[in-house]
Structure 1
Amino acid sequence: MSTPSFMNVVRYKLKPDCVDKYFEKLAEFNSEGLRGKYVAKTGVNDYCFVGLWDSEEAIAAARPRMLAHLDEVRGFMEELSPDLGVTDPVSGPIVA
Structure 2
Amino acid sequence: MYFTAELGYSGKETAEIGTWSENHIGFIIRYGDGYTFDTYEFVIEDGQGYYNVDETFEPLSASRQCKGYFEVPIELQSDTENPLELVVSLPGGNGENAEFVYDIR
TM over 0.5: no
Indicate the structure (1 or 2) with the bigger Cα radius of gyration: 2
Aligning the two structures, in what range does the TM-score lie when normalised by the shorter sequence?
A: 0.3 to 0.5
TM-score for the superposition, normalised by structure 1: 0.41
Where is the strand percentage greater, Structure 1 or Structure 2? 2
TM-score for the superposition, normalised by structure 2: 0.38
**Which one has more relative contact order, counting CA pairs under 8 Å at least 6 apart?**
1
